[in-house]
Amino acid sequence: MFDIIVIGAGIGGLTAARDQRDVGRSVLVLEARDRIGGRTHYDYLDGLDQKVEFGGGWVVPACQPNLAREVQRYGLEYAKGPVPENCAWHFNGTTRHDRSPLPVDEIPRFERAMSLLVAESHRIEWGRPFEEQDLADLDIPFAQWLADNEITGPTRELFNSYGAAVCFGAGPDEVSALTATQFAVHAQMYQAIGAQAEAIHQLFVGTLGTSATSYAATEAANAIAAS
Ligand SMILES: Cc1cc2nc3c(=O)[nH]c(=O)nc-3n(C[C@H](O)[C@H](O)[C@H](O)COP(=O)(O)OP(=O)(O)OC[C@H]3O[C@@H](n4cnc5c(N)ncnc54)[C@H](O)[C@@H]3O)c2cc1C
């Protein structure tokens, strides 16, 4: 007999199990896989002789206080990730080696979509429980949020593949737009603090610089989104 049974040995389950054990309860952790860690998984990628992060890699302590406490508890150190030198984007069966995952003429639509997401993120007040904030309209499938905002085509594919699949480990039907919005806040903080973000920013600046016409259209789209 156990006082507590925890289903799943991801970071959430493991820390909950540990905390319960620490206050004297007996705990059983049930994990379906043959390893612990859940979506945080550091392992070899097929064909590479070096390990890569398959899941959680970036942390923003200000937005992830629970995780920051774990980092502090175990005396772990934050490390800066490598700055990318080359990019390969695999999209709809084709691989591009351009600086941007999107064709230049798609950038205004991408900027509009980002502006909308960032605008939603400004509604979040950090440190206050979400249920006390007026955010229920955002707790819908991310796919629905994209459709409601008429985000389509390559921009939607990018949001789906990078945003939903890479950042959340689930498809856009399974992820809440509120979660996506949280990540947009994280991304803004990454931008403020990260060398990686700076490198990615430079990639986009380079792409925008290749087309003055496109840049003007982007600015126009921003102005519309902001009004
Ligand atoms: C590619 C990728 C990149 C990411 N990048 C970041 C990042 O940079 N920064 C960040 O903060 N987050 C990132 N995340 C998200 C982060 O990894 C997750 O939010 C976090 O690991 C979730 O932890 P969890 O314990 O809640 O769930 P999970 O890690 O999903 O753990 C759940 C566990 O429960 C098990 N389980 C489920 N159902 C059952 C069942 N019925 N019986 C038994 N076991 C069950 C699963 O096998 C799994 O091990 C990323 C995720 C992915 C996939």
pLDDT tens digits for 193-214?
445 555 555 665 565 555 555 5
106 and 77 within one domain: yes
Angle subtended at Cα 12 by Cα 77 and Cα 130, rounded to the nearest 5 degrees:
100
49 and 76 within one domain: no
What's the rounded Cα separation, in Å, for the pair 51 and 54?
9
Average pLDDT of the chain?
81
What integer pLDDT is reported at residue 60 of this predicted model? 79
Query: Is the shortest distance between the CB of 6 and ligand 1 below 6 Å?
Result: no
Query: Is the shortest distance between the CB of 57 and ligand 1 below 6 Å?
Result: yes
Query: Is the shortest distance between the CB of 163 and ligand 1 below 6 Å?
Result: no
- How far is ligand 1, taken at its centre, from the CA of residue 105, in Å? 36
Cβ–Cβ under 8 Å, residues 29 and 13: yes
Query: Is the shortest distance between the CB of 9 and ligand 1 below 6 Å?
Result: yes
What's the rounded Cα separation, in Å, for the pair 141 and 156?
14
How many separate domains does the chain show? 2
What integer pLDDT is reported at residue 18 of this predicted model? 97
* Residue 82 resides in a domain: yes
86 and 43 within one domain: no
**Domain boundaries, position 33:** 1-57
Strand bridging mode 27-30 / 4-7: parallel
Query: Is the shortest distance between the CB of 61 and ligand 1 below 6 Å?
Result: no
The share of the chain scoring above pLDDT 90, in percent, equals 32
What's the rounded Cα separation, in Å, for the pair 17 and 3?
11
For ligand 1, atom 31, the nearest C-alpha belongs to 10
Structural domain ending residue among the three candidates 12, 28, 57 = 57
Structure-token match 């960032």, residue found: 118
Cβ–Cβ under 8 Å, residues 101 and 91: yes
What token pair was written down for 185?
Answer: 């806040």
Confidence check: pLDDT of 24 > 50: yes
129 and 220 within one domain: yes
Cβ–Cβ under 8 Å, residues 195 and 78: no
1 and 101 within one domain: no
